[in-house]
Structure 1
Amino acid sequence: MMETQISELERDIIKEILNIGLARAADSFAAIAKDKVLLKVPDIQLIEVKELLELVAQYEDTHVIIQSDIKGDFNGATLMLFSDDHIVRLSEVCLSMVDVQKGELSVMQESLLLEISNIITGALVTQLANILKANIYGSPPKAPKSHIADSLKDILVQHPLFQPLVFTVITRFTHNSRSVELPLLLFFDTKTFITIIDIIRTFDLGKNNLMETD
């Protein structure tokens, strides 16, 4: 297994880049949620494929999972995990629905989840592309009907050395002072991760490059 080394500083830079992207995503999401939204990256971890699949499998029975693939110079995906409670809350806030039933998603509710995923992934990808000068784009989000492992196989199988870099992002949005957290997993394959590290290592860290992209 290839070991990928990442220093504390590089970890912090990646977190900062993602946080800039998430700040943009939060602004866009706030327009739908009609209130302020806070998105942040509390944790970055390198994990094995098996662990990744186990992690995602834990959510499968209890959450609706929306997947957006990241393509172009980078290879990766975002997964947004929506519990029944999240869906009820989002339906009330964003769709002005009342007495929302848990269980089967309506077409409108599924569209809303796809739209939220699209906004957040799109904003992240745009910022990553700007800061890292990379040609990347997000594919339209989908709600995999089969096991998520099957739908992730494209990323996993093509890369036998795949050691995904997983960012757990806690998306918190507050509406009328009630807070809802949405887990978001963002991951890249090893080759992409090495590319990102190489790009970061070319930055002149004496200057605050990250902010100059605004």
Structure 2
Amino acid sequence: MTEPHITELERDIIKEILNIGLARAADSFAAIAKDKVLLKVPDITLIEVKELLNLVATYEDTHVIIQSDVKGEFNGATLMLFSDDHIVRLSEICLSMLEVQKGELTVMQESLLLEISNIITGALVTQLANILKANIYGSPPKAPKSHIADSLKGILVQHPLFQPLVFTVVTQFTHNSKSVELPLLLFFDTNTLLKMLDTIRAFELGKNNLTETD
């Protein structure tokens, strides 16, 4: 498969589409966090599968990873990465827990992390579907118990030649002047990237603004 070529303008358009989805996600997340939520502009890179797995593996021993697959006309996944410190802060703020112990998650804590991932992924996917006129949906999030590479095989191994399109987003919310940052990885396979580019280029030819909302 030939490597997709993305112009700087197309990168900017994809980033803007994601930003619209992230803004919706931030509003939804703020309802749980009971405070202001900021989602930073995502970085966008094309990397080899091996690099992606190595990147994710660096977080495995230090973070709880919540995965939600993107299915339908697009093929991809989101990974939200929660460190012990993130979990403590989120438990204090969202669950009103006091003296939170680091280590093994309680049922309530795992449910909270799954819900946060569900809200953010759901808002992103809904917005992508609306803007790109695609039939896509997010699967219920899960916390893989095995190595994340095994969990991602359904996306990676079925398409061994693709270069995943990886977006890295830092979710930041502030509560009582203290910030919590949550790394989010969002990636799609090459076929999905090509579909996105086809849609964007069709709009560019038509001189329409892809990111205008009614």
TM bracket (short chain): over 0.9
Counterpart Cα distance in 2 of 1:101 and 1:170: 25
Counterpart Cα distance in 2 of 1:164 and 1:26: 25
Instruction: Indicate the residue corresponding to 1:58 in structure 2.
Output: 58
SS of equivalent residue, structure 1 residue 211? coil
1:161 Cα offset (Å):
1.6
Matched, 1:39 2:39: yes
TM-score by length of 1: 0.97
Aligned-partner residue type, residue 26 of structure 1 = A
Instruction: Indicate the residue corresponding to 2:189 in structure 1.
Output: 189
Aligned-partner residue type, residue 55 of structure 1 = L
1:55-94 CA-to-partner distances (Å, cap 9, x unmatched) read: 0000000000000000000000000000000000000000
Counterpart Cα distance in 2 of 1:122 and 1:16: 17
Counterpart Cα distance in 2 of 1:108 and 1:154: 29
Gaps of 5+ in 2: none
Counterpart Cα distance in 2 of 1:129 and 1:86: 30
1:24-58 CA-to-partner distances (Å, cap 9, x unmatched) read: 00000000000010112331000000000000000
Matched, 1:212 2:201: no
Counterpart Cα distance in 2 of 1:120 and 1:140: 12
For the Cα contact (< 8 Å) 2:18–2:124, is it kept in 1? yes
Counterpart Cα distance in 2 of 1:203 and 1:30: 33
Counterpart Cα distance in 2 of 1:101 and 1:212: 44
Counterpart Cα distance in 2 of 1:160 and 1:31: 40
Counterpart Cα distance in 2 of 1:24 and 1:108: 25
Instruction: Indicate the residue corresponding to 1:82 in structure 2.
Output: 82
For the Cα contact (< 8 Å) 1:10–1:197, is it kept in 2? yes
1:180 Cα offset (Å):
0.8
Instruction: Indicate the residue corresponding to 2:115 in structure 1.
Output: 115
Matched, 1:16 2:13: no
TM-score by length of 2: 0.97
Matched, 1:135 2:135: yes
For the Cα contact (< 8 Å) 1:41–1:167, is it kept in 2? no
Moved over 2 A (4+): 204-209
Aligned-partner residue type, residue 41 of structure 2 = V
Instruction: Indicate the residue corresponding to 1:168 in structure 2.
Output: 168
1:131 Cα offset (Å):
0.1
SS of equivalent residue, structure 1 residue 179? strand
The Cα RMSD (Å) is 1.1
1:170 Cα offset (Å):
0.6
Aligned-partner residue type, residue 193 of structure 1 = L
1:9-37 CA-to-partner distances (Å, cap 9, x unmatched) read: 00000000000000000000000000010
For the Cα contact (< 8 Å) 2:203–2:209, is it kept in 1? no
Counterpart Cα distance in 2 of 1:73 and 1:161: 19
For the Cα contact (< 8 Å) 1:63–1:84, is it kept in 2? yes
Instruction: Indicate the residue corresponding to 2:96 in structure 1.
Output: 96
For the Cα contact (< 8 Å) 1:2–1:161, is it kept in 2? no
Counterpart Cα distance in 2 of 1:206 and 1:175: 42
Matched, 1:28 2:12: no
Counterpart Cα distance in 1 of 2:40 and 2:135: 24
Q: How many residues align?
A: 213
Gaps of 5+ in 1: none
